[in-house]
Amino acid sequence: MIEISPRFFRHSPSLLARTAFFVMLSLLLMALDSRSKYLGGVREIFSMIVYPLQKLAHVPMSMYDATSELFQHGEIAEENARLKQQHLVDKGQLLRLRALEAENTQLRKLLNATQRIENKATVAEILRVPHDPFNRKVLLDKGSMAGVESGQVVVDDIGVVGQVTRNYPLASEVTLLTDRDHSVPVQVVRNGLRSVVSGTGREGVLELRYMAINTDIQEGDVLVTSGIDGIYPPGLPVAAVSQIERNPNYIFARITCTPASGVNQNRQLLILSARAPRAGTPAEATKMKPRPQEARRQ
Amino acid sequence: MLSLIVALLLNLIPLTGTVRTLQPDFVALVMLYWYVNEPQRVGIGMAFWMGLLMDLSNASTFGQHALGYSVMAFMALVFNRRMGIFEGYKQAPQIGLVLLSGQIVTLLAGLFAGSPFPGWNFFLGSIVGMLLWPLLSAILRVPQKPWSASDAR
């Protein structure tokens, strides 16, 4: 039975059959990955293989940083002086903030309201911006070993960047605001109007969907997180309205916004680690909302 | 295969802006080199696994690149005979065609998974890859020179 035909007649499955097998396998994987959660473990194992390579690919960047720092001594001194000044200014504000926080907790106690948990934050660096036009995601170099969980909010120094959607032991995946499947509940600073801003899948473009034509919204309006979802802490800047198209033929206005934060500009991001508690009623959230825009201008 | 690991590294280099749109898929290029020149030593399975690695590092749907790479490998193996006729830079248009069809398959897979159309810039990568082909095949041939000379290929 074994080896009846001579060795040179033995065929492996035909090329087409092998290709078909692998095509089927990848289609199956795609279906599994998009419809269910079974592949989490597999992903984790693969991520451990890829992680050293990603680190290695990052080496030129960090070397460039190190060498450029070597040559920019003067600039650094200048920057240091400027930062010290900034630090002083910030410290003054922080003192005021502490006083306000203490006052706030006292008032909340009086009101018997839920205590706000202080947000702690982890600084993480962008490990990789995928060369992939299909999804707006970045990889950060902190993972579940550093206490990062999926669902946490990621911000930079200006505003919201996105949300951790997957975490591996040593890295985590952040879905950016501009991802097509990503939405953030927001509020217009000017008049407190609440809405949900969604990504479009294009870089630097967000959209306010399902807003009636006669909605009171203007170009240049600043949107901040409203905090009513219980995930995003209220008051973080998200975007500014860049263009409004009011076409009477449609029920809804086309409102496009530009995100406040720039993932392309900075490499360090902040992962807010504590989830904000549910902010009572929406009306209360509006009242309690700090105004970051004003705070920064002072 | 060391060359594939290096290619994966090249793909993972964090780039931004215009350079990023022009960045060709090095893994696909190196893989195609092996499929064209050593079809006996590499199977379609390799393309599949490299595709999975790319999916993971790109954080895209599992299997999307694996599908594209498998199709590319198939085309390269089918075109293998024809490639032998051409020398050096004349292979480039054919490779461009294979790269482009691989990208189209990946794109279709992405569209079915629910991604929006990424824009025509998406295809620039394979054109740059096509232009890089002669250079790349020359580089990959360097370590094998003494061997292939005695082999009288």
Residue A295: its pLDDT value, please?
41
Instruction: Output the DSSP codes for A65-90.
Output: HHHHHHH-HHHHHHHHHHHHHHHHHH
Judging contacts by C-beta atoms under 8 Å, the chain B residues touching residue A200 are 116
Q: Is A3 inside any structural domain?
A: no
CA angle B36–B41–B44, rounded 5-degree value: 75
Alpha carbon of residue A138 to chain centroid: 8
Residue A287: its pLDDT value, please?
45
pLDDT of A241 over the 60 cut: yes
Q: Is A173 inside any structural domain?
A: no
B67 lies within 8 A of chain A by CB: yes
Rounded CA-CA distance B136/A240 in Å is: 46
B41-82 pLDDT tens trace: 777 888 888 888 888 777 777 778 888 888 888 888 888 777
Please report the number of interchain residue pairs, chain A to chain B, with beta-carbon separation below 8 angstroms: 134
* Strands in chain A per DSSP E: 121-128, 137-140, 153-155, 160-167, 172-176, 183-188, 194-199, 206-212, 222-225, 237-245, 252-259, 268-272
Q: Is A105 inside any structural domain?
A: no
Q: Which residue has the tokens 């000379």?
A: B149
B48 lies within 8 A of chain A by CB: yes
State whether A53 and B59 contact (CB < 8 Å).
no
ipTM computed for the complex: 0.70
A254-291 pLDDT tens trace: 899 998 886 666 677 888 875 544 444 444 444 444 44
Last residue of one domain, picked from the residues A45, A67, A89 = A67
**Range with the poorest average pLDDT among A3-12, A122-131, B102-111:** A3-12
**For residues A175-182, average pLDDT:** 85
Q: Is A287 inside any structural domain?
A: yes
Domain ranges in chain B?
A: 24-141
Q: How far is A136 from chain B (nearest CA, A)?
A: 9
* More confident position, B5 or A6: B5
- Per the rule left: phi > 0, alpha: psi between -120 and 50, beta: everything else, A220 is left
Judging contacts by C-beta atoms under 8 Å, the chain A residues touching residue B7 are none
A110-128 pLDDT tens trace: 776 555 545 567 888 887 7
State whether B64 and A26 contact (CB < 8 Å).
yes
State whether A19 and B57 contact (CB < 8 Å).
no
Residue A298: its pLDDT value, please?
37
Q: What is the pLDDT of chain B when averaged over all its residues?
A: 75
Q: How far is A97 from chain B (nearest CA, A)?
A: 38
Judging contacts by C-beta atoms under 8 Å, the chain B residues touching residue A129 are 14, 16, 20
Q: What is the pLDDT of chain A when averaged over all its residues?
A: 77
**Which one of B18, B21, B70, B126 makes the best mutation probe of the A interface by having the most chain A beta carbons within 10 Å?**
B70
Rounded CA-CA distance B41/B34 in Å is: 8
Judging contacts by C-beta atoms under 8 Å, the chain B residues touching residue A49 are 53
CATH, residue A225 = 2.40.10.350
Q: Is A189 inside any structural domain?
A: yes
Q: What is the largest distance, in Å, between two alpha-carbon atoms of chain A?
A: 92
Comparing CB atoms, the residue among B16, B70, B78 nearest residue A26 is: B70
Instruction: Tell me which residue range forms the domain holding A51.
Output: 15-67
Encoded amino acid at B68, one letter:
G
Q: Is A210 inside any structural domain?
A: yes
Last residue of one domain, picked from the residues A44, A67, A90 = A67
Number of domains in chain A: 2
Comparing CB atoms, the residue among B14, B23, B53 nearest residue A46 is: B53
A34-68 pLDDT tens trace: 777 666 777 777 777 777 777 777 777 777 777 77
**Does residue A158 contact residue A260 with C-beta atoms inside 8 Å?**
yes
**Range with the poorest average pLDDT among A19-33, A242-256, B131-145:** B131-145
Judging contacts by C-beta atoms under 8 Å, the chain B residues touching residue A181 are 114
**For residues A174-188, average pLDDT:** 88
Total count of residues recorded for chain A: 298
Instruction: Output the DSSP codes for B61-96.
Output: -TTHHHHHHHHHHHHHHHHHHHHHHS-GGGGHHHHH
Residue A197: its pLDDT value, please?
92
What is the H or E stretch that residue B34 is in? helix B26-37
Among residues 73-132 of chain A, which lie with CB inside 8 Å of chain B?
Answer: 126-132
Q: Which residue has the tokens 């360097």?
A: B142
